[in-house]
Amino acid sequence: MKKSILFIVAAILMTANTFAQQGHYQAVMGKNLEALRTAQTLEDYQLVANGFERMAAAEQQQWLPTYYASFSYINMSFREKDDDKRDQYLDKAQQHLDKALKLQPKESELYALQGFLHMARIQVSPMMRGMKYSGLAKEALEKAKNLNPDNPRVYYLLGSNTFHTPSMFGGGSQAAKPLLEQAKLKFEKQRAATALAPSWGEPQTLALLAKCN
């Protein structure tokens, strides 16, 4: 009888500890995501990236902290003026994304982010990198679409990639418009699986659509 009671107590304590850990993870991730939503400067994004990196180190089986660390560094690359530093930020983004892909190799959001990262590489040197990284971005985004045809970020990024591709290569605003319209519809229908799930991209979709019209 005593052994049974001790077993039950131990099980209750383990369950309580698990819920406490999950609660801490949710709370810290939520705080980091709020900081990400309001970040504007390089310094803001660096603080956000640091927060997600700490969470990734603490929760090594969770893919979202490394996803958001990667996303933060990609955003930093768009705000940096020095090309070498931009590539350094993207190198860090790729390192985090590679870790996330090892944890969830069939996650559509990760391949969508890979496409976004390739697109950021283009911005460092459009003339030199456009053809190579545009193709790599499209390849990653098509894989993301195959994994989840309802992922709105896939269509936004495909539309953005097409929008910024010269018309002589099949790009331009009119070629991008159908993709962006699909993205708009899918954003309207999207319901995030959890409060921590990726949800970015809708304002950018609407802004590009306005340019197409």
CATH of domain 108-213: 1.25.40
pLDDT of residue 175: 95
- The residue behind tokens 């699986």 is 193
More confident residue, 21 or 19: 21
Q: Is the pLDDT of residue 18 over 70?
A: no
User: Residue 150, SS3?
Assistant: coil
Per-residue pLDDT reduced to its tens digit, 2-13: 555 544 433 333
Return the pLDDT at 46: 97
Distance CA 88, CA 91 (A): 5
User: Which amino acid would we find at residue 4?
Assistant: S
Q: What is the pLDDT of residue 193?
A: 73
User: Cα 68 to the chain's mean position, in Å?
Assistant: 6
The pLDDT assigned to 9 comes to 36
Check residue 12 and give its pLDDT: 38
pLDDT at 61: 95
The domain spans of the chain are: 1-105, 108-213
Tell me the mean pLDDT in the region 44-50: 97
Mean pLDDT of 116-137: 94
Whether 48 and 32 have beta carbons less than 8 Å apart is answered as yes
Amino acid (1-letter code) at residue 24: H
How many C-beta atoms lie closer than 10 Å to residue 68's C-beta?
Answer: 27
Tens-digit pLDDT profile for residues 81-102:
999 999 999 999 999 999 999 9
Q: Find the range with the poorest average confidence among 8-12, 61-65, 197-201.
A: 8-12
pLDDT number for residue 21: 57
Confidence of residue 165 (pLDDT cuts 50, 70, 90): confident
Banded model confidence at residue 170, pLDDT cuts 50, 70, 90 = confident
- Distance, CA of 116 to CA of 162 (rounded, Å): 13
Q: How far, in Å, CA of 91 to CA of 50, rounded?
A: 15
| pLDDT for residue 15 | 34
Of 151, 165, 166, 145, nearest to 200 by C-alpha is 151
